[in-house]
Structure 1
Amino acid sequence: MLPSNRLQRPGSPPPRFGIADAFERIGFAAEVLDVNDASRNPFAGCASLFASIDPWRAAKVLFRRRKAYAVISYYQSGALLLLALRRVAGFKPLVVIVDVGDDSNWPLRARIVAFCLKRADAVFSFARDQTGYLAQRYPGAQVQFLPQQIDTEFFTPSGGEGDYVLSIGNDLSRDYETLLAAVSGLDVPVVLRTDRVASQAGIAIAPRGSDEDLRALYHAARIVVLPLYDMRHPGGISSLLEAFACGKAVVASDARGIRDYLHHEENCLVVPCGDAAALRAAITRLLQDDALRMRLGSAARRYAETELSQDRYAARLKDAFAALRPFPPSV
């Protein structure tokens, strides 16, 4: 398993990557190969498009993991060198990609996506809209929809709630301009965990921290708001599912990339993208209706547990692998 970003940081506790444990519970021996530091990775510290290429890690897989059943690359770049060299190296394991970057606004990324999708044994997208787009754009690519997962053992409800509105995320999918317009003048604290908004009156900027710090932010929030542009790529999905798993009531924009997970009035409230008035109305409604907050938060947690847990995700991947190649007798 090849993560797209470095998991282990100097001086940090062991990283969480519970997918490996979930695979082992269903009979797979799973190994996580982290992205290397600068001493072995010339792209270390760069954007994940480049950092996850990691030539040293790719060489280790090609020549020291030849007996693997499959290599799972989270994001396309980790599979780039494997797919380019698999024939000359005589590399037999399946090479699959989980999660594909947006190929519409960066020509270099579009070339990498095109190269990898045409050669991977399978490609799994977290959004049905993106799955259909990729299948049409890259004929012959083996693209399937695979719901994203969340660690429901780590992200758990706290049993209480705080007093602020929380929004989290740094990627380009976030529409903080609409959020700021929606909360302007509201008599409620607003906390953002992002580098994309400067501190201003009524807005607190939470610093980056550990996963435990992130979980504490969710626990102390009253509601979570996910303002998004209407993108095909599932930007914001991690924050959405973390909030669900923590049992928080969520207001989310109706972006195509996360629409598969949004069930209006059942596990969240959904508003049109870019509509500050609708976003404000949904936020106000949740703040004023304790019963609705509790109902949506409980339903969100149940949804995360039953449909999006890491065990459920591992089982879905196992079924998809079985359709690609028979398992060895030990699995």
Structure 2
Amino acid sequence: MKQNKIGYLLKSGRSNRLVEGMPTEFLYGYPQLKKFGYDINLIGEEELSLEAEPSKIWKVINHITYVMVGVPGWAFWRIFCKRKVFDSFDVVFTTTNTFGICLSLLSRLRLIDCKVVFLAMGLIDLGTPKRWVSFYGWALKTTRVLALSNPDARNLSKTLARKVEYLPFGVDAQFWTPAKGNLQGGDFVLSIGSDRHRDYKTLIAAWRSDFPTLKIVTKLPVQTSKPNIEIISGDWHSQVISDAEIRDMYRNAKFVVLPIRNTFQPSGQSAALQAMACGKAVVITDFQGLWNRELMQDQKTCFLSGPPGDIAALQGAIAAALQNQEDVEKVGAESRCCIEINLNVNIMASCLMNEF
């Protein structure tokens, strides 16, 4: 039986994480499948010439197509011009919404012959225009669509009128590890992340003057005058703070708190699982996009802090965690076990095997 040739189209910068000693979860199973013997190669963003600056006319076209059908016209045009790149692959896998929709359009129009596997992330959310949903339903007709949370998979299945499977995202449990002999952590609580669904306004409002220092690591424009809150500028893309430094923050924190607005998107997923892999308890909003409620169980593998935007509930969950160190340590230890068994890069790669 002929082995499929697989192309991984990821955002630029991902190949840098193939260096030994770097966490691999944002390569979405690529290095693990490579080790399993799959014929698989990265497709660099530069191969599609997406770094080119669009002309003024193209900027207008780009805006119009995005507003009308949710597709950036410039990106589609550049990928269309470079579509021959995909001729050497039987399957192309991508995790970026722009890439996924553009490749799906090319497939739907029979301009590429490869199978497209699209790991959608917040493609259709609570406020997505209906005309986008309608167009996506047509464009994705020939594409295999996956989702990183059970709620998102159900939402996409309903709105696209087809089956969308849940792919369990997993982190690199060999990199994200607990500090040896220390699960208690230091004198601060950590919150981290820069996606648009982070609700730092609610977290800051909930942070009492008698709470310990809260460190917020984000590139979002967050401000506060509270003396026990420290804002640290940083995110995954800029790498102002290295992965090793982020791991040390997880290890040295009392616990991690992730305030999330209501969304079907699995916001906070990577930060939560990284912290859990480091043996840290996570206090997280009980929002619609919580990726797997069978594994993310309140008081067992995490602390659910109540509905989105509820200041009092979040404040109460934080206070309870600060007052019950023994429970925090138990949840942190159970969290690590959950990652080792259910939510790691090897599990994610194994689930992807069926798609290729």
TM-score normalised by structure 2 residue count: 0.77
Alpha-carbon distance in 1 for matches of 2:243, 2:149: 25
Q: Select which of 147, 171, 175 maps to 2:168.
A: 147
2:42 aligned residue? 32
- Cα displacement (A) at 1:65: 4.0
Which range moved further: 182-191 or 31-40?
31-40
Q: Which runs of 5+ in 2 are unaligned?
A: 1-7, 55-61, 235-239
Deviates more, 1:70-79 or 1:99-108: 99-108
Which residue of structure 2 aligns with residue 20 of structure 1?
30
Instruction: State the 1:250 CA deviation.
Output: 0.9
Cα distance change of structure 1 residues 282 and 146 upon mapping to structure 2, 3 Å threshold: same
Q: Distance in 2 between matches of 1:235 and 1:131?
A: 14
Q: Which has the larger displacement, 277-286 or 247-256? A: 277-286
Q: How does 1:232-251 map to 2 (within 5 A)?
A: 232-251=264-283
Question: Is the Cα contact below 8 Å between 1:101 and 1:109 reproduced in 2?
Answer: no
Aligned pair count reads 315
Aligned mates of 1:24, 1:281 — CA distance in 2: 46
Read off the aligned partner of 1:262 and give its amino acid letter.
Answer: M
> What are the within-5 Å matches in structure 2 for residues 201-216 of structure 1?
201=226, 202-208=228-234, 209=240, 210-216=242-248
In structure 2, what is the equivalent of residue 200 of structure 1?
225
Residues 285 and 302 (structure 1), Cα distance of their counterparts in 2 relative to 1, 3 Å cut = same
| Inter-CA distance 223–177: structure 2 relative to 1 (3 Å threshold) | same
The counterpart of 2:302, out of the listed 262, 268, 275, is: 268
Aligned partner of 2:38: which letter? F
Q: 2:73, 2:43 → 1: CA distance?
A: 13
Q: In terms of mean alpha carbon deviation, does 233-242 or 73-82 score higher?
A: 73-82
The equivalent of 1:285 in structure 2 is 320
Tell me the amino acid that sits aligned with residue 7 of structure 1.
G
| CA RMSD after TM alignment | 3.3
Partner of 1:175: 199
Whole-angstrom distance in 2 between the partners of 1:135 and 1:173: 22
Distance 1:32 1:151 in 2: 19
Contact 1:232 1:256 in 2 (8 A): yes
Distance 1:70 1:36, change over 3 A: same
- 2:159 corresponds to which residue? 137
Return the alpha-carbon distance in structure 2 between the equivalents of residues 307 and 204 of structure 1: 33
Q: Name the CA shift for 1:280/1:155 in 2 (closer, same or farther; >3 Å).
A: same
3-state SS of 2:289 partner: helix
Contact 1:76 1:116 in 2 (8 A): no
Identity %: 26
Counterpart of 1:119? 142
Name structure 1 gaps, 5 residues minimum.
323-331
Change (3 A) 1:279 1:86: closer
C-alpha deviation, 1:95, in angstroms? 0.3
